[in-house]
Amino acid sequence: MKCGYLPTEIFGRLRKNNPSPYDFLINLGDEQLIGASPEMYVRVDGREVETSPISGTVRRGGSPMKDAEQILTLLSSKKDESELTMCTDVDRNDKSRVCRPGSVKLVGRRMVESYSKLFHTVDHVKGELLEGYDLFDAFLTHMWTCTMTGSPKPIAMQTIEDLENSPREWYSGCVGLFTFNGQLNTGVTIRTVQLRDKVATVRAGATLLFDSVPVEEEKETRLKAEAFLNAVTLEDYTPDKRFRPLGKMPTGKRVLFVDCQDSFVHTLANYVRQTGVEVITLRAGFKPEKMDEIKPDLVFLSPGPKTPRDQQVPEVVGEAVKRNLPVFGVCLGHQGIAEYFGAELGVLPEPMHGKESLVHHNEKGIFSGIHDPFLGGRYHSLYVKPETVPDCLEVTAKTEDGVIMALQHKTLKIASVQFHPESILTLQDDIGIKIIANVIEQLTK
């Protein structure tokens, strides 16, 4: 593609947006190479020779939770595992020509490396050079890496010669340095922009196996080239935003946050503060008269250990109702609200601690604008028995197996959720903070 930008501009863009182990800018007079290669070709330090074959690729998810899902997908792929296995077995064979018998070791298997657009799986192999061999022998025995050629190498390279309709030029070679004290450090020339006569060339490829899917391999090559095409066109780089400002929220409101001695209260209170309201925190067990002093627009009941009665949650709900104050509860707070109005609690067959569930809801009230269903994080052993829910309370959300996840009073400004909006398991699409924003907006009107 045509490119009117300086090599230094492209290099700076790559350094900022896609840092890699082997970043380089090489001026060859009539052409320049600008690269950010993730893959070590050969490194020699003293008698030790090492390589890090890369094979296995998946796109990043756009958020830490989705990244985790993508990594699991990559590590679960038998096809990607087979790719890397072949490349590493060939790499070990290359070393065995010049390394001391028994010294060639696999020291890292399917390690995940992170880059701006993707994840790779990487192996790490080391060996000890035999007497009589040096860094140049280590360099030559790996020429060229199996991740770029395939296997068996002689036939694979002849196939490349027969099938590819243009020379690879610098692509799939290596770039690096050797020193006079016997050290060598080189990276494979992939993820490289070749700039000549104001024309930028970006090459990318993928490892093909019998069970490869052509369309998926094509997508992979485009994914690998994406950061480099962006650098050449100087398109805006938009990193994942960890904080997204909420829309117009009530100002001048005050929330009494009741701390039931849980280990998530600060995160939850932080979510409430993000809506722009003032938060005053009191430990459970405070005198009811404090409500008259504080004059809150909402009483927020936190999660906590033990039972709602142990933390006097139903009593707090009663005092708030006497004063016609809106109430919202999470987990233990949810259970305490249910108990105050006459529902009974049961014990789950198994604790749901640090586990996620699909939450189905009515898309109304505090769930306005929230897609149905969503993933919610759970930390509880107690639950509200559905058959005991009084007529004054409406069940507004459930899990797929029928466990109540949210309640709404039919006439009072009182609502609750069993799941944890502040958990990382409820981070997807900012569901947690959006629900808290709905709570503040609707219950403090």
Per-residue model confidence as pLDDT tens digits over 362-384: 999 999 999 999 999 999 999 99
Count how many domains the chain has: 2
If DSSP states are collapsed to H, E and C, what string results for the chain?
CECCCCHHHHHHHHHHHCCCCEEEEEECCCEEEEEEECCEEEEEECCEEEECCEEEEEECCCCHHHHHHHHHHHHHCHHHHHHHHHHHHHHHHHHHCCECCCCCEEEEEEEEEECCCEEEEEEEEEEEECCCCCHHHHHHHCCCCHHHHCCCHHHHHHHHHHHCCCCCCCCCCEEEEECCCCCEEEEECCCEEEEECCEEEECCCCCCCCCCCHHHHHHHHHHHHHHHHHHHHCCCCCCCCCCCCCCCCCCCCEEEEEECCCCCHHHHHHHHHCCCCEEEEEECCCCCHHHHHHCCCEEEECCCCCCCCCCCHHHHHHHHHHCCCCEEEECHHHHHHHHHCCCCEEEEEEEEEEEEEEEEECCCHHHCCCCCCEEEEEEEEEEECHHHCCCCEEEEEEECCCCEEEEEECCCCEEEECCECCCHHHCHHHHHHHHHHHHHHHHCC
Give the pLDDT band (50/70/90) at residue 210: confident
Give the pLDDT band (50/70/90) at residue 406: very high
Give the pLDDT band (50/70/90) at residue 249: low
Residue 241 predicted with pLDDT over 50: no
For residue 248, the model assigns a pLDDT of 56
Whether residue 426 lies inside any domain: the answer is: yes
Question: In this predicted model, what pLDDT tens digit does every residue of 305-324 receive, in sequence order?
Answer: 999 999 999 999 999 999 99
Residue 236 predicted with pLDDT over 70: no
Residues 228 and 91 reside in one and the same domain: yes
For residue 5, the model assigns a pLDDT of 86
Task: Give the domain range for residue 430.
Answer: 254-443
Residues 355 and 420 reside in one and the same domain: yes
Residues 227 and 262 reside in one and the same domain: no
Residues 277 and 400 reside in one and the same domain: yes
For residue 4, the model assigns a pLDDT of 82
Residues 313 and 428 reside in one and the same domain: yes
Please tell me the pTM assigned to this model.
0.82
Q: Which of 171, 201, 233 is the last residue of a domain?
A: 233
Whether residue 185 lies inside any domain: the answer is: yes
Whether residue 413 lies inside any domain: the answer is: yes
Whether residue 83 lies inside any domain: the answer is: yes
Residue 242 predicted with pLDDT over 70: no
Question: In this predicted model, what pLDDT tens digit does every residue of 73-92 receive, in sequence order?
Answer: 999 999 999 999 999 999 99
Give the pLDDT band (50/70/90) at residue 247: low
For residue 400, the model assigns a pLDDT of 97
Q: What is the CATH number of the domain that holds 418?
A: 3.40.50.880
Residues 391 and 291 reside in one and the same domain: yes
Residues 188 and 333 reside in one and the same domain: no
Residues 135 and 260 reside in one and the same domain: no
Q: What is the CATH number of the domain that holds 27?
A: 3.60.120.10
Residues 263 and 401 reside in one and the same domain: yes
Question: In this predicted model, what pLDDT tens digit does every residue of 113-131 receive, in sequence order?
Answer: 999 999 999 999 999 999 9
For residue 385, the model assigns a pLDDT of 98
Question: In this predicted model, what pLDDT tens digit does every residue of 161-207 receive, in sequence order?
Answer: 999 999 999 999 999 999 999 899 999 999 999 999 989 999 999 98
Report, as residue numbers or ranges, the catalytic residues: 331, 420, 422
Whether residue 239 lies inside any domain: the answer is: no
Residues 349 and 386 reside in one and the same domain: yes
Residues 339 and 288 reside in one and the same domain: yes
Residues 208 and 315 reside in one and the same domain: no
Q: Which of 203, 233, 263 is the last residue of a domain?
A: 233
Whether residue 2 lies inside any domain: the answer is: no
Whether residue 420 lies inside any domain: the answer is: yes
Q: Which of 189, 204, 233 is the last residue of a domain?
A: 233
Residue 235 predicted with pLDDT over 80: no
For residue 239, the model assigns a pLDDT of 46
Mean pLDDT within 397-417: 98
Whether residue 304 lies inside any domain: the answer is: yes
